[in-house]
Amino acid sequence: MPRAREGLTFALLFALAGCRSEPVPSIHVVLGPAASDEATFTPRAALAELIEVSPSETTLLVHLPSSERTCDAVAPASVEEVAVALRLTLPAGVKLVPGRFPRPPAVEGTAPLVTTVKLRGRKHELRPGGELSLSRIDASPQGVLEGLLKLEFAGDAEQPATRVSGRFLAHFCKINRLR
């Protein structure tokens, strides 16, 4: 009987070790050279919206805040909140599919990928550079959007180097399709 108990104990420990969930990914933000310009946070909510604005324009919105949010309610943000917001505008006729979306400079006034970061009560729109990679898209209600942020601006004489990097797994709150 002791051998059976040892076997059962071993099997239970093995099963529990296999049930361990993956760690929640974190996002790293650098907005300048000072320590106060840098933060690493784990989004407490990761929300996405897909909006077909017209037959020739589709927009993906992604919000990754350090505070709790739901699809229906946005709590007032604290000064200490860190958040990353993305707006990806797809070219005419292009559907949202997994792939890489680079951040080139704006052409004729509108950039295809705009990133805004909120850090310590200040909002910053990032300069072009790097890319957004989307690896999984289930554009249905409560579907998921999985991706990798590799957004980086090398800096110049006027602006410091900036970087936003990390993996995310967002849930679609809203899908607005033209009928």
Q: Which residues contact 129 (CB under 8 A, 6 or more apart)?
A: 103, 151, 152, 153, 154
CB-based burial label for 57 (10 Å; 0-12, 13-18, 19+):
middle
pLDDT at 165 over 70: yes
Residue 121 pLDDT? 86
pLDDT band at 70 (very low <50, low <70, confident <90, very high): confident
Residue 75 pLDDT? 67
pLDDT, mean of residues 115-142: 92
Q: Report which listed range, 17-21, 59-63, 157-161, is most confident.
A: 59-63
Closest listed residue to residue 134, CA positions, set 94, 168, 175: 168
What are the structure tokens assigned to 129, written together? 């550079």
pTM over 0.85: no
Q: Note whether 164 and 40 are within 8 A (CB).
A: no
- Residues 91-121 have pLDDT tens digits of 777 889 999 998 876 666 677 899 999 998 8
Residue 7 pLDDT? 43
